[in-house]
Amino acid sequence: MEIKLTNVSKEYDLGATKVKALKDINFTVDSHDFITIAGPSGSGKTTILNMLGCLDTPTSGIVTFDGVDSSKLDLKQQALLRNEKIGIIFQSFNLVPVLSVYENIELPTLIGEKPQKRKDTKDWIMHLIESVGLGDRVNHKPEELSGGQRQRVAIARALVNRPQLVLADEPTANLDSVTSMRILELMRELNRNENTAFVFSTHDPDIIEHCDTVVRMRDGAILSEEDVHQRKDVSQTTIVDGIAQVPESDSENKEENHA
């Protein structure tokens, strides 16, 4: 699996003004990538995730999924691509209010080309529910759950079709650090065992620490793309790099706390 953004720009035309949400982005996601996109509010994190998830089309530039130009796919093909290969965790969860936890997670298995009738689907869903720690909330409705619990349902739902790529917009924003870590471990496991690629947007330093790659964004552009483990190793020795990077991430976090 490979998703590639080539010279991707996204503009929103608001009549008087034009908002450049993405500026000439070049970016590739491969199988077993575990990437974080960091950046201040409004920097284009959600927009770039939407491009990766074929939810939105660029104003210019090309998005390819395994070499296929996604703008050449019709609505149905795009939908099926999302259904079968991409799991999406939305910033505001978007659970279906009338469905229980179990049914929300089951939903993607039902609405694709043909409803899946695999015998192990039920076991898999239950496994996901246990993994996100909602074993005692199986039949609850979203409105009966806390923000963090809803988020966990959204996470399980994104994983249910065993996607090749999972996109997560601030997946741990509403979670305490213990739950965050548990969920991160689940994702790591899938990443290692099933070669699932993960792309997060986040403000959470813990998540950044646990990722392989951090992509830093500002004003719709990618500032840097760095290997987290390498940075950890290298930061002791390559002082110039460390100094150049660390204050920036600090200022970023402050900015967001104000926002």
Ligand X SMILES: Nc1ncnc2c1ncn2[C@@H]1O[C@H](COP(=O)(O)OP(=O)(O)OP(=O)(O)O)[C@@H](O)[C@H]1O
Structure tokens at 179: 């739950």
| Residue 43 within binding range of ligand X, rule CB under 6 A | yes
Contacts of 5 (CB under 8 A, 6+ apart): 25, 26, 27, 28, 48, 51, 52, 58, 61, 62, 63
Structure tokens at 220: 């719709």
Q: Kindly report the backbone phi and psi dihedral angles of residue 103, in degrees, each rounded to the nearest multiple of 5, phi listed first.
A: -70, -35
By beta-carbon proximity to Mg ion, the closer residue of 46 and 213 is 46
- Give the number of residues in contact with Mg ion, rule: CB under 5 A: 1
CA pair distance 35, 207, nearest whole angstrom: 10
Least separation in angstroms between CB 173 and Mg ion: 10
| Residue 142 within binding range of ligand X, rule CB under 6 A | no
- The single residue among 19, 28, 31, 96 that binds another protein, judged by CB under 8 A, is 96
The single-letter DSSP state of residue 144 is G
- Of the candidate spans 27-35, 86-94, 171-179, 199-207, the one that interacts with another protein by CB under 8 A turns out to be 86-94
- The single residue among 19, 60, 71, 98 that binds another protein, judged by CB under 8 A, is 98
| Residue 259 within binding range of another protein, rule CB under 8 A | no
Which residues, numbered 9-28, are part of the site for ligand X (CB under 6 A)?
12, 14, 19, 21
Q: Kindly report the backbone phi and psi dihedral angles of residue 23, in degrees, each rounded to the nearest multiple of 5, phi listed first.
A: -125, 105
Structure tokens at 221: 């552009």
Least separation in angstroms between CB 174 and ligand X: 14
| Residue 44 within binding range of another protein, rule CB under 8 A | no
| Residue 111 within binding range of ligand X, rule CB under 6 A | no
- The single residue among 29, 38, 88, 199 that binds another protein, judged by CB under 8 A, is 88
| DSSP one-letter string for 56-104 | S--SEEEEEETTEEGGGS-HHHHHHHHHHHEEEE-TT----TTS-HHHH
> CB neighbours (10 Å) of residue 248?
15
Question: Which positions lie near ligand X, rule CB under 6 A?
Answer: 12, 14, 19, 21, 39, 41-47, 91
Question: Which positions lie near another protein, rule CB under 8 A?
Answer: 50, 53, 55-56, 75-76, 79-84, 86, 88, 90-92, 94-99, 103, 106-108, 110-113, 115, 157, 161
